[in-house]
C-alpha cells in the first residue's frame, strides 16, 4: 500500500506545536474577539495535518517535504 505521508518528521512536529499554540491562544482567552475566534478555528488545521502527516495543499501542488516520498517519485 502506498504511503500517503507527504510531510517530513520535523515539519509534523512544528505543525502540531503551532496548532497547540494557536488553540491555546484562542481558548485560554489570551486573544479575544474576532481574532480569538479565528485562532480557535484555524488552530485545528496545522494540528490535524501534523498528526495525520498529510497536507492537502502539498497533494494539490504535487510537492512533499518527506524524503521517502520524493525518492519514490523519482524511481
Q: What is the mean pLDDT of residues 48-73?
A: 85
Q: How confident is the model at residue 51 (pLDDT cuts 50, 70, 90)?
A: very high
Predicted TM-score of the model (pTM): 0.83
Q: What mean pLDDT value characterizes the chain? A: 90
Beta strands in 1-43 (DSSP E): none
pLDDT of residue 4: 85
Enter the C-alpha cell of residue 52. Answer: 495525520
Residue 31's pLDDT band (cuts 50, 70, 90): very high
Mean pLDDT for 48-54 is 95
Contact 65, 45 (CB under 8 A): no
Amino acid at each position: 500500500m502506498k504511503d500517503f505521508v507527504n510531510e517530513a518528521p520535523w515539519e509534523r512536529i512544528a505543525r502540531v506545536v503551532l496548532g497547540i499554540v494557536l488553540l491555546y491562544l484562542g481558548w485560554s482567552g489570551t486573544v479575544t474577539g474576532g481574532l480569538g475566534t479565528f485562532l480557535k478555528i484555524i488552530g485545528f488545521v496545522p494540528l490535524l495535518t501534523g498528526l495525520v502527516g498529510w497536507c492537502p495543499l502539498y497533494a494539490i501542488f504535487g510537492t512533499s517535504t518527506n524524503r521517502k516520498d520524493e525518492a519514490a517519485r523519482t524511481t
